[in-house]
């Protein structure tokens, strides 16, 4: 299964959201909103984000979703948290917890 692509206009400033499901080692549901969440937008999925590439994101609860009860959002576009410009970017999500710090390539953002 391929990664999904989100498309936005280069003229818009909007939140780009990533659905999140968090569980403990035992499989119990976990509320991650106290954890630091960050996103990176890289020109290729093989380019590893460096510390300066990580952008602040925010959490939101999605109470109507049983599968993905949380989402991480980053404000993208002119005047947003990040404005990568026209192009296609691999979207990375990083959640800093203790002791885990998962980092995943979530999909692509296409700005045109």
Partners of 112 in the β-ladder: none
Residues 89, 6 contacting (CB under 8 angstroms): no
- Supply the pTM of this predicted model: 0.92
17-27 residue pLDDT tens: 999 998 888 88
Q: Please, are residues 54 and 38 in contact by the beta-carbon 8 Å criterion? A: yes
Distance CA 43, CA 87 (A): 8
Show me where the domains of the chain are located.
Answer: 4-111
CATH of 4-111, one of 2.60.420, 2.30.30, 2.40.30, 2.60.40: 2.60.40
Handedness of CA 55, 76, 86, 96 (dihedral sign): positive
CA 58 to chain centre: 9
What's the confidence (pLDDT) of residue 2? 56
Q: Tell me the percentage of the chain whose pLDDT exceeds 90.
A: 83
Residue 29 in tokens = 């549901």
- Summarised one tens digit per residue, pLDDT across range 54-94 is 999 999 999 999 899 999 999 999 999 999 999 999 999 99
The pLDDT score that the predictor gives to residue 1 is: 41
Report the mean per-residue pLDDT for the chain.
94
């Amino acid at each position: 299964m391929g990664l999904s692509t989100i498309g936005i206009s280069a003229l818009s400033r909007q939140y780009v959201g990533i659905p999140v499901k968090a569980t403990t080692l035992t499989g119990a549901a976990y509320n991650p909103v106290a954890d630091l969440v960050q996103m990176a937008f890289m020109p290729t999925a093989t380019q590893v984000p460096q510390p300066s590439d990580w952008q602040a994101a925010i959490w939101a609860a999605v109470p109507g979703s049983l599968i993905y009860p949380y989402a991480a959002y980053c404000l993208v576009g002119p005047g947003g948290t990040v404005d990568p410009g026209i192009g296609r970017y691999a979207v990375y999500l990083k959640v800093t917890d203790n002791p885990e710090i998962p980092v995943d390539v979530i999909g692509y953002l296409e700005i045109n």
